[in-house]
């Protein structure tokens, strides 16, 4: 009986639930997200102000204040957190390890703490309280980024921790200077400073909050943290948590109203916004990982918000437009960016990867309907298509910049045009995503197997609910922007002392007129037109995740190589053909050198054999000449005897001369004999020397021929091996050394053969 009771009791023990002991943390996080959402919605609708203080805490005390601006940020963050929480339940069930319940427990604990400290920054009453919550938020969100426990997540979380702590230190330095100069830590105290103190404190606070916001130059932790964090964590990191930095920058800027540097700060924020907008969009266009693309897209979207803040220094209608667009875009970006990150998590659950080359066609309506609908809503919202929420806030920001251009036509006119082109860039890289994810078929890896939890299938019914709820909110803002502006923006405008006439102008603003629709449609269809020309160069390719600087440089080299292969294929082919022909010419030259050397060496024994033949011919010719002369002399004597009777005197003289000549001929015969004997002996010695030279030459030729043949064979094999990797061999130090050594060997062998040939020819002569 006791055993039976024990078994029944253990059936309902928390460790039997799908998330094990983490079920407590799941419940706590869900309740907290729901309470925070309901509380901020209630305060927003009732326009309640709340302020309280805990005195003497840490010597300074902490102060909290809930006003119109902080409520707009707090409600946006709570909504994103609640939607991400609903998605995280089935997501974590898929990725949870039944034997490691503490991992899910830690995730939901960090998830809940991050919401608390994010709200703490938004509802802080002064910079000291904001700094404390800022630092605690860094530690809790660090656990979210590090959750997966991989090497990549550890590196990314370490970078995120370093950047966030550095930003916190900058805020602390600015806070200390502000406290020393004014005796207060309130945001409004910044406007009481002047001169270098005002410039220094403003710069420190802006850079410190800019670290968390992903300001250009301080943004590089974002594309490292998002791809490795769980998708629900990425959704809150991008959709809500980076708004902590935006909130701090906005509060500092609002405190500068009427200050001497307000206009300069406005120009600086506009330039920073354009850099964020264009750099993030360009990097997203060429990235190959879906979550990395969304991370760079967040950098780009922060640019829209910074541009909206930069235009809030105007008066009247322009200020109302800029503030309304900024606050509404904070909410809009949280909705469509968190939705897109949740879609990426859905793909990770079903496909096992977020690499673009493997996700071709993974979001087809027949394959994954709900994820397809979620992506379409996110795509339409972020690109500013009329009827969705992004169009409304971008139109307000654009009109604020257009009004500013009427006062400062040169600067703000350029900013307004760059804003429109940046909107086209956003549409360009999301059209690329739409084509890749919704068409074709990729080489998908084997998906991760689902965890064996019975309740996982039931929990996945929350995913369509998240998509439907987020899409409904986006449609509501897109078709009824005036209602949301009255709730979210108009109270803030009145609190910031914007004239009631300017507020009424926005209340009757036409969002669907020709003047407002044409810029959005031109940007979108211009992006479609441009994409038709560049789509071939934006094909997704497999990519290896990199860690070290060397690996990242290697990755950059592979991207450049892929781009060159796509863009300059014909030129690369011609260059390769030229290299191949040059290699063939080198091989043929080597063969000709070998044949020439062989012919020269073969000629040496032939010349040595020809020497005795020449000597014998000289012998025969010398003998025949001597016989001819002797016979001629004999005929001359005979003739002289015949004519002796006729001219005794002449005969006597001729006989005398003939006898003398005969004697000389006989003496010459003896001399020629000696000379012939000497020549014959010399020729025999030359033959012997030539035989010796021939033997030496044969040995040298054999060695030289073997070296030459080995060189030619090696050159041919090297040319064949070099064909598929010519650039690597050209840049290889070892290959250069090998070529140098082979060249030296070839030169030495050639010199030896030339010397032997010259020596042989010398003896032959």
Residue 354 lies in a domain: yes
Q: Regarding predicted confidence, which is higher, 579 or 204?
A: 204
Q: What is the pLDDT of residue 24?
A: 74
Distance of alpha carbon 391 from alpha carbon 377, whole angstroms: 12
Q: What is the pLDDT of residue 562?
A: 52
- Please state the φ and ψ torsions of residue 66, each to the nearest 5 degrees: -110, 110
The pLDDT confidence band at residue 341, using thresholds 50, 70 and 90, is very high
Check pLDDT > 80 for residue 690: no
Distance of alpha carbon 185 from alpha carbon 175, whole angstroms: 7
DSSP state of 183: S
Residue 442 lies in a domain: yes
Residue with structure tokens 């609910």?
Answer: 465
Contact between 117 and 136 (Cβ < 8 Å) = yes
Shared domain check, 409 and 502: yes
At 388, is the secondary structure helix, strand, or coil? coil
The CA–CA distances, whole Å, from 719 to 327, 712, 723, 730 equal 65, 10, 6, 12
Residue 54 lies in a domain: no
Distance of alpha carbon 335 from alpha carbon 389, whole angstroms: 9
> What is this structure's pTM?
0.68
What would the pLDDT profile of 88-143 be if each residue is shown by its tens digit? 888 887 765 544 445 678 888 899 999 999 999 999 989 999 999 999 999 999 99
Burial class (CB in 10 A: 0-12, 13-18, 19+), 546: middle
Task: For residue 271, give every residue at least 6 positions away whose Cβ sits within 8 Å of its Cβ, in sequence order, or none.
Answer: none
Shared domain check, 657 and 607: yes
Q: Nearest-CA neighbor of 229 among 133, 125, 305, 140? A: 140
Q: Regarding predicted confidence, which is higher, 426 or 537?
A: 426
Q: What is the pLDDT of residue 729?
A: 44
Residue 17 lies in a domain: no
Check pLDDT > 80 for residue 543: no
- List helix spans (H) across 384-480: 389-407, 409-438, 456-459, 462-479
In order, the DSSP letters of 17-54 are STTGGGHHHHHHHHHHHHHHHHHHHHHHHHT--EEEEE
Distance of alpha carbon 316 from alpha carbon 570, whole angstroms: 59
Contact between 708 and 658 (Cβ < 8 Å) = no
Shared domain check, 459 and 381: yes
Residue with structure tokens 């030289």?
Answer: 704
Shared domain check, 498 and 633: no
Q: What is the pLDDT of residue 672?
A: 59
Q: What is the pLDDT of residue 624?
A: 58
Shared domain check, 428 and 306: yes
Segment 37-55 shows an average pLDDT of 87
Q: What is the pLDDT of residue 202?
A: 93
Q: Nearest-CA neighbor of 244 among 114, 154, 338? A: 114
Last residue of a domain, one of 698, 717, 736: 717
Segment 635-652 shows an average pLDDT of 56
Q: What is the pLDDT of residue 84?
A: 93
Residue 587 lies in a domain: yes
At 553, is the secondary structure helix, strand, or coil? helix
Shared domain check, 604 and 523: no
Check pLDDT > 50 for residue 13: no
Q: How many CB atoms lie within 10 A of CB 408?
A: 14
Task: For residue 760, give every residue at least 6 positions away whose Cβ sits within 8 Å of its Cβ, in sequence order, or none.
Answer: 604, 607, 608, 693, 697
Host H or E run for residue 64:
strand 62-66
Shared domain check, 556 and 535: no
The pLDDT confidence band at residue 1, using thresholds 50, 70 and 90, is very low
Q: What is the pLDDT of residue 647?
A: 55
Contact between 43 and 66 (Cβ < 8 Å) = yes
Q: Regarding predicted confidence, which is higher, 746 or 118?
A: 118
Shared domain check, 526 and 504: yes
Check pLDDT > 50 for residue 7: no
Check pLDDT > 60 for residue 548: no
Shared domain check, 460 and 370: yes
What would the pLDDT profile of 233-246 be if each residue is shown by its tens digit? 999 998 889 999 99
Per mean pLDDT, which range of 396-405, 460-469, 585-594 is the poorest?
Answer: 585-594
Task: For residue 366, give every residue at least 6 positions away whose Cβ sits within 8 Å of its Cβ, in sequence order, or none.
Answer: none
Check pLDDT > 80 for residue 229: yes
Residue 99 lies in a domain: no
Distance of alpha carbon 307 from alpha carbon 109, whole angstroms: 35
Shared domain check, 600 and 529: no
> HSE on the CB side for 154, CA within 13 Å?
3
Question: 3-state SS of the chain: helix, strand, coil percent to 5?
Answer: 80, 0, 15
Q: What is the pLDDT of residue 453?
A: 47
Q: Regarding predicted confidence, which is higher, 175 or 498?
A: 175
Q: What is the pLDDT of residue 327?
A: 93
The pLDDT confidence band at residue 494, using thresholds 50, 70 and 90, is confident
Residue 500 lies in a domain: yes
The CA–CA distances, whole Å, from 198 to 124, 150, 260, 265 equal 22, 44, 9, 11
Host H or E run for residue 545:
none
Q: What is the pLDDT of residue 260?
A: 82
Check pLDDT > 90 for residue 475: yes
Average pLDDT value for the chain: 76
Last residue of a domain, one of 486, 510, 539: 539
Expressed as residue numbers, the domain containing 681 is 551-717
Shared domain check, 524 and 470: yes
DSSP state of 386: T
What would the pLDDT profile of 381-430 be if each residue is shown by its tens digit? 999 899 899 999 999 999 888 888 877 768 888 898 899 999 999 999 99
Residue 754 lies in a domain: no
The rounded Cα 235 to chain-centroid distance in angstroms is 23
DSSP state of 84: H
Q: How many CB atoms lie within 10 A of CB 504?
A: 12
Check pLDDT > 60 for residue 763: no
The rounded Cα 28 to chain-centroid distance in angstroms is 41
- Please state the φ and ψ torsions of residue 667, each to the nearest 5 degrees: -65, -40
Distance of alpha carbon 520 from alpha carbon 427, whole angstroms: 10
The number of distinct structural domains making up the chain is: 2
Shared domain check, 629 and 703: yes
């Amino acid at each position: 009986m006791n055993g039976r009771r024990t078994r029944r009791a253990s059936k309902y023990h928390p460790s039997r639930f799908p998330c094990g002991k983490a079920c407590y943390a799941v419940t706590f996080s869900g309740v907290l997200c729901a309470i925070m959402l309901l509380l901020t919605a209630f305060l927003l609708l009732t326009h309640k102000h709340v302020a309280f203080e805990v005195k003497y805490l840490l010597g300074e005390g902490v102060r909290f204040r809930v006003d119109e601006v902080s409520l707009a940020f707090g409600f946006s963050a709570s909504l994103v957190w609640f939607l991400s929480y609903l998605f995280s339940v089935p997501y974590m069930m898929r990725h949870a390890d039944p034997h490691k319940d503490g991992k899910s427990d830690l995730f939901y604990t960090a998830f809940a703490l991050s919401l608390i400290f994010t709200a703490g920054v938004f509802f802080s009453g002064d910079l000291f309280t904001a700094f404390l919550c800022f630092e605690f938020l860094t530690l809790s969100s660090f656990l979210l980024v590090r959750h997966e426990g991989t090497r990549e997540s550890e590196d990314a979380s370490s970078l995120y921790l370093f950047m966030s702590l550095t930003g916190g230190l900058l805020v602390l330095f600015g806070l200390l200077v502000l406290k020393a100069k004014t005796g207060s830590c309130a945001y409004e105290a910044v406007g009481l400073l002047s001169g270098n103190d005002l410039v220094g404190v403003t710069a420190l606070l802006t850079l410190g909050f800019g670290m968390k916001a992903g300001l250009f130059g301080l943004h590089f932790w974002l594309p490292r943290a998002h791809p490795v964090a769980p998708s629900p964590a990425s959704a809150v990191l991008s959709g809500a948590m980076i708004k902590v930095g935006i909130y701090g920058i906005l509060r500092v800027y609002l405190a500068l109203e009427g200050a001497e540097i307000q206009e300069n700060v406005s120009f600086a924020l506009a330039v920073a916004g354009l850099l964020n907008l264009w750099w993030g969009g360009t990097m997203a266009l060429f990235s190959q990982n879906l979550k990395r693309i969304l991370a760079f897209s967040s950098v780009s979207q922060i640019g829209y918000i910074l541009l909206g803040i930069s235009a809030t220094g105007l008066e009247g209608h322009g200020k109302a437009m800029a503030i309304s667009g900024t606050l509404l875009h904070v909410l809009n970006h949280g909705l469509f960016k968190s939705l897109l990150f949740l879609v990426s998590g859905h793909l990770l659950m079903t496909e096992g990867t977020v690499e673009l080359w493997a996700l071709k066609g993974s979001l087809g309506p027949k394959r994954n309907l709900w994820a397809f609908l979620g992506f379409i809503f996110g795509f339409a919202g972020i690109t500013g298509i009329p009827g969705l929420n992004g169009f409304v806030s971008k139109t307000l920001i654009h009109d604020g910049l257009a009004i500013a251009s009427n006062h400062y036509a040169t600067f703000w006119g350029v900013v307004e045009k760059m804003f429109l082109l940046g909107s086209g860039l956003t549409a360009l890289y999301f059209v690329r995503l739409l084509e890749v994810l919704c068409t074709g078929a990729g080489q998908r890896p084997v998906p991760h197997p689902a965890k064996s939890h019975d309740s996982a299938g039931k929990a996945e019914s929350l995913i369509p609910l998240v998509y439907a709820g987020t899409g409904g909110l986006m449609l509501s803002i897109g078709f009824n922007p005036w209602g949301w502006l009255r709730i979210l923006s108009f109270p803030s405008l009145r609190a910031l002392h914007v004239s009631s006439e300017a507020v009424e102008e926005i209340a009757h603003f036409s969002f669907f007129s020709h003047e407002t629709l044409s810029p959005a449609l031109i940007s979108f269809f211009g992006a479609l037109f441009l994409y038709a020309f560049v789509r071939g160069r934006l094909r997704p390719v497999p990519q290896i995740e990199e860690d070290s600087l060397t690996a990242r440089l290697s990755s950059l080299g592979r991207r450049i190589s892929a781009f060159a292969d796509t863009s300059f294929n014909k030129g690369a082919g011609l260059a390769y053909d030229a290299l191949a022909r040059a290699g063939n010419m080198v091989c043929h030259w080597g063969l000709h050198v070998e044949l020439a050397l062989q012919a020269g060496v073969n000629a040496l024994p032939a010349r040595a054999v020809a020497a005795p033949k020449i000597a014998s011919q000289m012998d025969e010719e010398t003998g025949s000449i001597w016989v001819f002369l002797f016979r001629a002399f004999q005929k001359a004597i005979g003739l002289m005897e015949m004519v002796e009777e006729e001219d005794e005197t002449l005969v006597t003289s001729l006989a005398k001369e003939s006898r003398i000549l005969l004697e000389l001929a006989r003496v010459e015969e003896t001399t020629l004999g000696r000379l012939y004997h000497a020549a014959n002996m010399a020729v025999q010695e030359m033959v012997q020397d030539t035989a010796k030279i021939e033997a030496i030459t044969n040995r040298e030729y054999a060695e030289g021929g073997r070296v030459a043949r080995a060189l030619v064979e090696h050159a041919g094999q090297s040319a064949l091996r070099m064909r598929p990797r010519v650039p690597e061999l050209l840049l290889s130090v070892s290959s250069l050394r090998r070529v140098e050594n082979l060249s030296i060997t070839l030169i030495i062998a050639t010199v030896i053969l030339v010397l032997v040939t010259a020596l042989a020819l010398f003896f032959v002569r």
